[in-house]
Amino acid sequence: MISVTAQANSASASKPNLLDLDRQGLEAFFADIGEKTFRASQVVKWIHQKGVTDFQQMTNISQALRDHLQASTVIHMPEVVYDATSSDGTRKWLLQLDDGNRIESVYIPEDDRGTLCVSSQVGCALDCSFCSTGRRGFNRNLSTAEIIAQVWLATRLIDEEKKPGRKVTNVVLMGMGEPLLNFDNVVRAVRLMMDDFAYGLSKRRVTVSTAGVVPAIDRLGDLLDMRLAVSLHATDDALRDSLVPLNRKYPLRELMAACRRFIDKQSARSRITFEYVLLDGVNDSEQHAKQLVQLTKGIPTLVNLIPFNPFAGSGYSTSPRKRVQRFYEVLAEAGINTVVRRTRGDDIDAACGQLVGMIEDKSRRHRRFEEPRIGMQT
């Protein structure tokens, strides 16, 4: 095992955590202490590319600067408190933060890639009716360090498996939380994911998924060239109001207009992924599929159909296979790129909407402290 916990335990709350800084931030940090700004690229490389968290191993940095960094800063990660691999190869980690909150990250291997699903908040405030994360309330935003540490840890822990082909090639911010309600920390973390001195993921391999925070979609488009996924789930406002309450604030017409503006700002060949959870008898008719075709007209689109992952007390059930097939066909016949997401990691509760961590709910909705469901077989 890599020894991040020793480092973590000795961290002091008052010292800056270098994981909170992207390269721009580190440049400012070094400028402040009278150092050359190229130190930022060196340190980013040591930490994120080489996985080195011991300053004394950063050999292209002078001894004096190493000592200074060691004395005045930390490189501090959450602690891995649970690590399980599903029978289908999906791997899930439960990470404990300094304040005792717990978050989850999931690694999903496929033939041609390995996708890491990253959390952006402890819990979620949006309360989408079909999502078990949302049902458990909201506690706080994750720091940039807590977001990028998920990538740092997964990269190293997957590497340790020494299995050919298993590596993090894609990152999706589709874990716990609404990334666009934690805008600045998410943007800094995404910059690191895409930085050639850090993880060097291309703009097609980093995806932010949002329930539709319209002003933040605009700001994101201004700042970054990257993938956007929008959790649509309904094609009219009345239904979407009930599934995704955020729709009352930013209704479909505004959301789709924001998607168009986002695409216009991106480099060529960009497209938006629309996620659509199929709920039996709620949003899964042929008529709904046809409306989806109309709604996405003129937007380069990939539709991601997600079979609902049921959980106790949700009040919804999964659409029958035949209806999923019909929904898919309507979209495909209209020339829309469509994929049906396979449910992965079911046996370790790693599937969509099942990332519940352990949340001390700060919203008024629920006041309770939940144990994670970690019963599993590997």
CB nearer ligand SAH, residue 44 or residue 277: 277
Instruction: Determine the interface stretch with ligand SAH among 52-60, 254-262, 304-312, 326-334 (rule: CB under 6 A).
Output: 304-312
Confirm or reject binding of residue 105 to ligand SAH (CB under 6 A). no
Confirm or reject binding of residue 306 to ligand SAH (CB under 6 A). yes
Residue span 50-79 as binding mask against ligand SAH, x where in contact by CB under 6 A, dash where not: ------------------------------
Instruction: Determine the interface stretch with ligand SAH among 43-51, 105-113, 157-165, 206-214 (rule: CB under 6 A).
Output: 206-214
CA distances from 202 to 57, 128, 266 (A): 29, 31, 13
- Of these, 21, 168, 277, 358, which contacts ligand SAH (CB under 6 A)? 277
- Of these, 174, 186, 187, 189, which contacts ligand SAH (CB under 6 A)? 174
Least Cα distance to 131 among 313, 3, 290 occurs for 313
For the beta sheet containing 227-231, the strands, ordered from the edge strand earlier in sequence to the opposite edge, are: 79-85, 91-96, 102-109, 114-117, 170-173, 206-210, 227-231, 272-278, 301-307, 337-340
Size of the site for ligand SAH (CB under 6 A): 17
CB nearer ligand SAH, residue 69 or residue 151: 151
Residue span 127-166 as binding mask against ligand SAH, x where in contact by CB under 6 A, dash where not: -x-xxx----------------------------------
Cβ neighbors of 76 (< 8 A, separation 6 or more) are 7, 8, 11, 17, 19, 145
Confirm or reject binding of residue 210 to ligand SAH (CB under 6 A). yes
Region for residue 297 given its phi and psi (left: phi exceeds 0; alpha: psi -120 to 50; beta: otherwise): beta
- Cα–Cα dist 329/289, whole Å: 9
CB nearer ligand SAH, residue 72 or residue 317: 317
Q: Which two tokens stand for residue 135?
A: 């049902």
Residue type, 55: F
Active site residue 104: yes
CB-CB contact of 263 with 271 (8 Å): yes
Instruction: Determine the interface stretch with ligand SAH among 11-19, 190-198, 302-310, 362-370 (rule: CB under 6 A).
Output: 302-310
- Cα–Cα dist 356/349, whole Å: 9
- Cα–Cα dist 47/290, whole Å: 49
Q: E-assigned strands of the chain?
A: 79-85, 91-96, 102-109, 114-117, 121-123, 138-141, 170-173, 206-210, 227-231, 272-278, 301-307, 337-340
- Cα–Cα dist 43/18, whole Å: 9
Active site residue 370: no
Confirm or reject binding of residue 357 to ligand SAH (CB under 6 A). no
- Of these, 211, 213, 292, 330, which contacts ligand SAH (CB under 6 A)? 211
User: By CB neighbour count within 10 A (0-12 exposed, 13-18 middle, 19+ buried), where does 55 fall?
Assistant: buried
CB-CB contact of 229 with 207 (8 Å): yes
CB-CB contact of 167 with 158 (8 Å): yes
Which member of 124, 128, 131, 352 is catalytic?
352
CB nearer ligand SAH, residue 239 or residue 306: 306
The nearest distance, CB 198 to ligand SAH, in angstroms, is 23
The nearest distance, CB 278 to ligand SAH, in angstroms, is 9
- Residue with smallest beta-carbon separation from ligand SAH: 353
CB nearer ligand SAH, residue 200 or residue 281: 281
Binding site for ligand SAH (CB under 6 A): 128, 130-132, 174, 178, 209-211, 231, 275, 277, 306, 308-309, 352-353
Return the active site residues: 104, 352
